[in-house]
Amino acid sequence: MDVNITIRPGLRVKAFYLFFIISSIQTGTGIMSTPRYIFKEAKQDAWISVIIAGLCMHLIIFVMFAILKKYKNTDIFGIQTDLFGKWISRVLGTIFIIYLFSSLVSILINYIQVVQVFIYPMLSPWLLSIMILSIVTYAVLGGLRVAVGVTFTFFILTLWLIFFLYKPMTLMDFGHFKPMFEATPMELLKGARATTYSFLGLEILFFLYPFIDNKKKAQLPTQLGIVMTTFLVLLVTFISIGFFGGDLLERSIWPVLILYKLIEYAVIERFDLIIVTQWMMVIVPNMILITWMISYGLKRMYQLPQKKAVYGVVFLLFICGGLIRDQFTIQLIIDYVAQVGFWIVFIYPFVLYPLVIIKKKMNKNRGNHS
């Protein structure tokens, strides 16, 4: 496998879209329940944890770019091959792909669960799987450009959901934030770690980088994308704490959806229903991008035709989406994805960076000798 790859201009994507890609892939089903997990760790100072997590992510992105810039035009598979050789890199890449697949499963089953709880308790999970997966397949078969297009368009189309949070915002009780700064640094860090699940998705940079058209301008939109997601998570965490306060927040499984439930208008009385259905447009780009990543990875590593890879992934997803129904199992998978994701997405780049530097130095030395 070649370390560096060339992509024809027709397939490239403008760096500007990285903003939408990053913020879309990070906001999925996780954000619906994140405030609760952070609150469990850091209590009323949870919002500080979110800021800490946000800052960490900026650092991670920075490191990721630093790694990628050491190469001409490559992705994670190329880097791993360069560092570890063919076989170890294949193992690592496969772990990556298994992790991606399980995060895909977690998104799907979590969403199905939400739909069943909030809209149709009796709806068959198979059916929802078919619906979502047919959209995903249709888009991924269109290639990366369509995937990015869907991400962009759906991001714009679902942006309005944020504005309706103003209603619960007016119902906040600022007393719930007191006493401020009570949490210990350890608790804050634990809280920051609890955000993992809703912040996963940065890894797409490692996959997408070769496809970016104007790489010099890529850092800024990516960092802004992080700002956007941090802002979103911060916003919902902040409102959730202010609105629910202590015990109630810990007991709510989807606090964000309950926030939307309070909104009432003369035409639409129950906003949570609209939100849950609109959320499909939030998770679909998410799933499209991850499916693309998996299929692309399989193609890169095993020379599997991308079309076949997509069908395979979707079929497996369909089975998982239909079979996994029990709330605890779903929670287990989410926790597992968060655990593994934490190491793969947030810690791995820091391991990779020194290795890349050493390798480059060694190459240079060798070059000098010969």
- Positions touching other proteins (CB under 8 A) are 14, 16-17, 115, 117-120, 122-124, 126-128, 130-132, 134-135, 138-139, 142, 146, 149-150, 152-154, 156-157, 175, 178-179, 182, 244-248, 251, 257-258, 261-262, 264-270, 272-274, 277-278, 280-281, 284
Q: Closest separation between CB of residue 198 and other proteins, Å?
A: 21
- Residue closer to other proteins by CB (options 121, 367) is 121
- Residue closer to other proteins by CB (options 57, 132) is 132
Q: Closest separation between CB of residue 26 and other proteins, Å?
A: 20
Q: Which of 242-264 are b and which e, b meaning 16 or more Cβ less than 10 Å from the residue's Cβ?
A: bbbbeeebeebebbbbbbbbebe
- Residue closer to other proteins by CB (options 83, 117) is 117
- Residue closer to other proteins by CB (options 10, 367) is 10
How many CB atoms within 10 Å of residue 10? Answer: 7
89 in Cβ contact with 83 (< 8 Å)? yes
- Residue closer to other proteins by CB (options 51, 273) is 273
252 in Cβ contact with 32 (< 8 Å)? no
230 in Cβ contact with 250 (< 8 Å)? no
Q: Closest separation between CB of residue 344 and other proteins, Å?
A: 29
How far is it, in rounded angstroms, from Cα 78 to Cα 211? 14
Q: Is the dihedral of CA 349, 3, 224, 37 positive or negative?
A: negative
Burial class from Cβ neighbours inside 10 Å (0-12, 13-18, 19+) for residue 336 reads middle
Per-position DSSP letters for 274-339, written without gaps between them: HHHHHHHHHHHHHHHHHHHHHHHHHHHHH---HHHHHHHHHHHHHHHHHH---HHHHHHHHHHHHH
Q: Closest separation between CB of residue 338 and other proteins, Å?
A: 24
Phi and psi torsions of 361, nearest 5°: -65, -45
Q: Closest separation between CB of residue 326 and other proteins, Å?
A: 16
Q: Closest separation between CB of residue 92 and other proteins, Å?
A: 33
- Chain-centre distance of CA 286, in angstroms? 7
- Residue closer to other proteins by CB (options 101, 111) is 111
- Residue closer to other proteins by CB (options 77, 318) is 318
Q: Closest separation between CB of residue 199 and other proteins, Å?
A: 25
